[in-house]
């Protein structure tokens, strides 16, 4: 038996027990007024107990209803919780996929960093080789500058020697000029004596005599002070020459222009050999002569 709000609650089992007891008592005793009253009282108690039992049952059902409502709300909350858990699980899956992609990107970045580090290493090695090459180049440049300095010094000495040579040749020319005035023996005469032997020794050309020759071409008179005809290995040779005390590039150019005008006149007489003879031959004249097949001979050459 339990109580709620101070009133006894009769369970169905108790109710059955009481009814059985009453039935036994009714059968075992005589029906007297007193017993009847007691019976009525007992019945009233039973009815009251039944009423209380019904009220307790009602309250129990109400409590069960409230419990069921709570259970429904709990079930709904559980459903919502499961839905939230599902969303969390989906979010976790997406997060895991994003994490996987992030790890893959990090892996690619790590590979790229490794390749970049390798490229940096190769770049540093190349820079090292370039630095070594620059050092060697600097050393070579230093040696080149030293050689250039030595060449400049040599060129200065050569220029000084050339100046002295030119001065000596100029002096010699003046002396020869004086000699020519004294004995009438000039550069042209020297060339007539020196050139035949030079041509024979160096070019195997045999020429008996060289003379001054004048050519008139289209009304223009051209003078060559060294003209001769000879032989070389049985072939005819024509010597067209000019004697100048000092031979520079401009003298060679003028000689080439004069010879180009004379060539048509001597055509057919043999192979033409162009010669210039002088006391002083400048390097520019030699270079110009080589470019136009002009043999340039200095008076001191043999």
pLDDT tier for residue 174 given thresholds of 50, 70 and 90 = low
Domain boundaries, the chain: 7-81, 186-298
Rounded CA separation 124/233 (Å): 71
CB 246 within 8 A of CB 278: yes
Rounded CA separation 224/265 (Å): 13
pLDDT digits (tens, 9 = 90+) for 229-286: 999 999 999 999 999 999 999 999 999 999 999 999 998 999 999 999 999 999 999 9
CATH of 186-298, one of 1.10.3470, 3.40.1350, 3.30.460, 3.10.450: 3.40.1350
User: Residue 124 has what DSSP assignment?
Assistant: H
Rounded CA separation 176/184 (Å): 10
pLDDT of residue 178: 60
pLDDT digits (tens, 9 = 90+) for 182-239: 433 589 999 999 999 999 999 999 998 999 999 999 999 999 999 999 999 999 999 9
Distances (CA, A) of 117 to 126, 216, 296: 14, 86, 69
């Amino acid at each position: 038996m339990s109580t709620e709000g101070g009133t006894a609650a009769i369970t169905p089992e108790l109710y059955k027990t009481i009814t059985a007891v009453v039935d036994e008592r009714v059968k075992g005793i005589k029906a007297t007024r007193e017993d009847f009253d007691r019976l009525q009282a007992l019945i009233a108690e039973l009815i009251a107990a039944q009423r209380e039992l019904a009220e307790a049952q009602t309250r129990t059902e109400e409590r069960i209803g409230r419990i069921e409502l709570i259970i429904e709300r709990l079930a709904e909350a559980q459903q919502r919780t499961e839905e939230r858990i599902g969303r969390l699980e989906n979010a976790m899956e997406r997060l895991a996929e994003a994490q996987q992609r992030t790890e893959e990107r990090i892996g690619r970045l790590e590979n790229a960093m490794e390749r970049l580090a390798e490229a940096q290493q190769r770049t540093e090695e190349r820079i090292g080789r370039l630095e070594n090459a620059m050092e060697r180049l600097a050393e070579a440049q230093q040696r080149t500058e030293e050689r250039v300095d030595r060449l400049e010094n040599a060129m200065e000495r050569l220029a000084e020697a050339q100046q002295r040579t030119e001065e000596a040749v100029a002096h010699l020319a003046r002396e020869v000029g004086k000699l020519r005035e004294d004995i009438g023996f000039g550069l042209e005469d020297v060339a007539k004596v020196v050139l035949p032997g030079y041509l024979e020794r160096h070019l195997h050309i045999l020429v008996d005599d060289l003379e001054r020759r004048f050519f008139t071409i289209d009304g223009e008179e051209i003078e060559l002070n060294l003209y001769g005809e000879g032989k070389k290995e049985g072939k005819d040779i024509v010597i067209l020459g000019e004697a100048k005390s000092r031979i520079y590039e401009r003298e060679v150019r003028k000689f080439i222009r004069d010879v180009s005008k004379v060539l048509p006149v001597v055509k057919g007489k043999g192979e033409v050999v162009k010669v210039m003879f002088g006391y002083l031959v400048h390097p520019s004249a030699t270079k110009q002569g080589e470019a136009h097949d002009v043999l340039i001979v200095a008076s001191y050459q043999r």
